[in-house]
Amino acid sequence: MKQLFSVAGKVALVTGGSRGIGAMIARGLVDNGARVYITARKADELAATAEQLSALGECVAIAADLSTLSGIQALAAELASREPQLDILVNNAGASWGAPIDSFPESGWDKVMDINVKSPFFLIQQLLPLLRAAGSADDPARVVNIASINGITNPKMTNYSYSASKAAMIQLTRHLAADLVAEQINVNAIAPGFFPSKMTAHFLTGEPEQDAVGVPRGRIGSPEDAAGTTIYLCSRASAWMVGQTLVLDGGMVAAAG
């Protein structure tokens, strides 16, 4: 029972790990003994985050463009050259777009759907050999997909492709979970609410009470919230949880009815 929430010694990959929720999750895994690879497109920002997290444990940066299949394949090949198995994959990299419905561009639709849905699917596909090598009946390999409460309730914003993509991610999580569970790979998701990130920066005022308006819990999400939920989904404690999406939002979805 004392090791229920341990991720020590596990190998993890966190996409979009240079900032925001991805960096929060990567920090939590590193600080709890996992060897963590983080990836993003901007090499300088990625390297800076990896250097910072390396003060806590093992963190390695691999710059990659996950918007193309060739970029996904290159990342999978690079990881396979370094590791015989992958215990944890966190699909966090994402994009958003907002525009009025009358002028919403095709480019904004395609970019978001590709990054938020297509890329995670093909990354899982390319990493299956490493995930299969890691999983066992007692301790399956883990895939954690980062969805959003925008995929569950009406966000009341003009981010149409984003909300559609996150609803798709929740269903993709269920579908993949059912197919991969027999191969000792558990797939689950987290649907975050309001966390500080590049996507939410324009909403933040710097005043905690003002920023938390509409959040029943009375505050926005913290690094501990993101890291703690991910660690649960990647540890022995959740070995029997399959295909679920954990809503991590301080009560916003519950209050929406």
Q: How do residues 87-100 score in pLDDT, each as one tens digit?
A: 999 999 999 999 99
**Distance, C-alpha 96 to centroid of its chain:** 15
Residues 37, 160, 162, 232: which is the catalytic one?
A: 162
Q: What is the pLDDT of residue 209?
A: 74
Cα 56 from Cα 49, distance rounded (Å): 12
Tokens of 70: 């060739």
- Whole-number pLDDT of residue 196: 81
From start to end of the chain, where are the E strands?
11-15, 35-39, 58-61, 88-91, 141-146, 185-192, 245-248
Query: Who contacts 1 (Cβ-Cβ below 8 Å, separation ≥6)?
Result: none
Q: Which residues contact 68 (CB under 8 A, 6 or more apart)?
A: none
State the Cα–Cα distance between residues 138 and 240, nearest whole angstrom: 9
Its pTM stands at: 0.95
For this structure, is 160 an active site residue?
no
101: exposed, middle or buried (Cβ count in 10 Å: 0-12, 13-18, 19+) = exposed
Q: Cβ(212)–Cβ(196) under 8 Å? A: no
pLDDT in tens, 37-77: 999 999 999 999 999 999 999 999 999 999 999 999 999 99
Residue 92 gets which letter from DSSP?
A: -
Does residue 181 carry a pLDDT above 90? yes
> What are the structural domains, with CATH classification, of the chain?
11-256 (3.40.50.720)
Could you read off the pLDDT of 17-29 as tens digits, one per residue?
Answer: 999 999 999 999 9
> How large is the average pLDDT for residues 216-241?
96
Considering the chain, what is the average pLDDT of its residues?
A: 95
Alpha-helical runs (H) found in 135-197 = 160-180
